[in-house]
Chain A
Amino acid sequence: MDAVHTISDFQHKIDSDLNIEPKDVMPDKYRTHLIRQMSQHAHSEVIGMQPEGNWITRAPSLRAKQILLAKIQDEGGHGLYLYSATETLGISRDELIQQLHEGKAKYSNIFNYPALTWADIGAIGWLVDGAAIVNQVSLQRTSYGPYARAMFRICKEESFHQRQGYEIMANMMKGTAAQREMAQDAMNRWWWPSLMMFGPHDSDSPHTGDAFQYKIKRKSNDELRQKFIDKTVQQAEVIGLTIPDPSLKWNEEKESYDHGEINWDEFKSVISGNGPCNKQRMDHHIKYHQEGAWVREAVNAYAQRTQRAEAN
């Protein structure tokens, strides 16, 4: 049998590229790192529903509204896959939500920006989901089994998210001058925050060491960011959008794009609470979590009553 009973078995499994499963013995550092990363990922899926949810009632057609609803519904599902996978590490859903509300757990910084126009819904699907896909595809090879399997399921569903966003952008670029301007404006506002989604440069990424040693992370922040840029530039060109980076240039030698400086001061400022929507996102989550308490209580009370009735 394949159970891991000692830490050296653990290391052996990691070294031979085998997945770690919930019942395997694992170092505390591995468990802690996973809980931090997976819960942050789960929270991001759920908080990410807010900027898009803001546009459901204002979607420009029934078709657009159905698609947006389905997309946001998927994100809720992604959150649930990831919470369940995190719970296999011995932490409860309740604790995870509490950590979010107390600010001890983070969510992706990108969702602290507002979705101002309909073009933002296009930009979010195309760029934000696009960046998330690059990251999630690489996490399909993460060492923790439940996390890797959640990533496979999620990646299968993400492809429509990116396409629906790109379709919105492509249609707007075929529209009036005002629509094209709106699309370019959304592009200008979402491009840099999308690049920041991959996190700090490898040279100053605080968690990189452990994550690589344990094969939780398989590709570095900069590698993933590069991958995203290289596939996205062509897509922008095809529909006539300009990437808002004057330094962006094809580098023949490395066969990929060079890009301009990322504004890390903005990143740090937003991540430490000063983004346009940090407070709104968290207040909203706390409010609806608290307002939903009666549902959880009612369900519990009902379950207890049924159990009593069965016992009698």
Chain B
Amino acid sequence: MERKIVLEHIDVEGIQHLDVYRQHGGYLSLKKALKSMTPDEVVTEVKTAGLRGRGGAGFPTGMKWSFIDKKSGNPRYLICNADESEPGTFKDRYLMQHIPHRLIEGMICAAYALGANKAYIYVRGEFKAVIGILNTAIKEAYAAGLLGKNILGSGFDLDLHVHSGAGAYICGEETALIESLEGKRGNPRLKPPFPAIKGLYQCPTVVNNVETLANIGWIVNNGGEEYAKIGIGRSTGTKLISACGNINKPGVYEIELGLPVHEFIYSNDYCGGIKGGKELKAVVPGGSSVPILPKELILKTIEGVDRLMSYESLSEGGFISGSMLGSGGFIVFDEDACIVRNTYNFSRFYHHESCGQCSPCREGTSWMESVLHRIENGQGKTKDIDLLVSIASKIEGNTICPLGDAASWPVAAAIRHFRHEFEFHVNHPELIKNIKHGNLEKLDVKN
């Protein structure tokens, strides 16, 4: 069953509003944190909880917080990353739209722990409706004395504002986000220095994902130890999974980490199986950036152990036979899906979204797209397949930010696991010319 932490009470009528949210235990953590805990104690609880960043990289949140430079005397900032642009991911929008106060509550606790008196929620510009909902919720919180000066009489001040982006996937990368928040182009910065030392306006800054921050209230209320009991191994707590693609029940599910992948795909509590009674072909389990895995490898590891929905299990086998939990964007492909077309589609995405600052990504993403476009349109040659592998390997690891890697991995993985489909495209140009997504059923690509 779903184990609810960040989505608890999400179905309650009117939960977007402060009064209803409070009737259901909302903002209790604030009293506890501000009145009975020191900031460092809050950081310690988050460390004990073992909470890891839910934005994609899975970096331990408590540790990130402890890096923030408290000595410089410069103002500190907390930024919530609500850019949510990774294809396959739509959990943050769901959370903010339905239970905005859960995020705000978490942010206030986090800002207290970090000693930040200013915080921003950077929302992608397309989420205009979400921005409206957040602004209403923030207004309610100010009116109730939960934001602003001297919160709950504790002497702690916090200003919280929503900042809108304007259509750029790269602004989800934390340093690009900071540049964008400063009113600039979303060009990622070189690290080091890390934002914890020099972030927004060159001041110490922490950037956390929406879901990460939405966990903080629960952790403060119940303690890090309780949180760490949920989940499996180093994958503690729950995770929002955005399930989409060719399944019966797309949607956002909060799962306890450690749920078997098989159950997630086939149980009626979650994806409800493959649409139209078709067979499963492949899954991209953590947003478009992570390697695609064929059915055999997503359900079981190469050793034959059941794959679980956890950071460790999904990456078991490295990139040879594994993938990553990433942002939890779970994209399911049925037996008729054309992997080549999808790979081309993703590579077009990364080409379009590259900021263009560094040469391997700017030039390489465009090159990969062109080659894939040729293959997809029946003009590919066999050597193009190896060329793609080579280009991907030359972008990977050689760029300023991880978008270069994110553009390479899907291409490399698709060829690693579905080389026969690429070869089929190259060898049968006349057959593949008119097929679109999901029209592969008539073709026997295994030959």
| A and B held together in a complex | no
